[in-house]
Chains A and B, each alone.
Chain A
């Protein structure tokens, strides 16, 4: 399975600032996703990162707040903009799942705390 590296692994940020999270995969992948896991809750899909085009956002998530880049088939970034304490979460990158027998795999996540 693909090896997924996320940076940073954790950060503490001031409210009103922005943070960019990087996701690097050791092989080319078609499908790449960004999820959020708020404290004590399960995962919610933020968006699908599309290579060469704009990301596809889920209901409740907008590009101005969570801009995503996907410059190639091995790399993506998620920016959390104008952060507030409500953005304190684990943000996870995921790849795979293109075929029925292909699982999705996740990075270790970025634990973000906003003061």
Chain B
């Protein structure tokens, strides 16, 4: 069974600082890995998807890396803003089916 862990559980930074969010998974036989953002009481917004054959993906201020062999992904958010305050979830899809295994998330607070 795939276990997904996100560290830290919560993070508070001043505006402008770079954010580093970590995700680890136990089974390296993944199909892809997705990072999501969830605002309180809302659904999930897909941020980035990294295929198993890729090392990183970038979108604006966001960059996600993947090291499949060590079972790790990192989401970097540059020059954080108060609007980046949310919970960030990492989800791994294993090969062979379409199921996503989610981490518990990292709750980020960016202080103005």
Q: Does the CB pair B100–A45 fall under 8 Å?
A: yes
Q: Is B93's CB within 8 Å of the partner chain A?
A: yes
Q: Does the CB pair A92–B52 fall under 8 Å?
A: no
Q: How far is the CA of A108 from the CA of B43 in the complex (A)?
A: 4
When distances are taken between beta carbons in the complex, the residues of chain A under 8 Å from B46 are 1, 103-106
Contact of B43 among A44, A102, A106 (CB under 8 A): A106
Q: How far is the CA of A105 from the CA of B34 in the complex (A)?
A: 10
Contact of A101 among B43, B49, B98, B102 (CB under 8 A): B49
Q: Which of B78-108 contact A (CB under 8 A)?
A: 89, 91, 93, 98-100, 102-105
Q: Considering the complex of A and B, which 8 residue pairs feature the smallest CB-CB distances, nearest first?
A: A108-B43, A106-B44, A103-B49, A42-B102, A109-B43, A103-B46, A106-B43, A43-B102
How many pairs of A and B residues are in contact by the CB < 8 Å rule?
61
Q: A42-B103, A105-B46 are in contact. Are A111 and B51 (CB under 8 A)?
A: no
A-side interface residues toward B, CB under 8 Å? 1, 6, 31, 33, 41-45, 48, 58, 90, 92, 94, 97-98, 100-109, 111
Q: Does the CB pair A92–B43 fall under 8 Å?
A: yes
Q: Is B60's CB within 8 Å of the partner chain A?
A: no
Q: How far is the CA of A105 from the CA of B37 in the complex (A)?
A: 11
Interface core residue of B34, B44, B103 (most chain A CB under 10 Å): B44
When distances are taken between beta carbons in the complex, the residues of chain B under 8 Å from A103 are 34, 46, 49
Q: Does the CB pair B43–A33 fall under 8 Å?
A: no
Contact of B51 among A41, A58, A92, A100 (CB under 8 A): A100
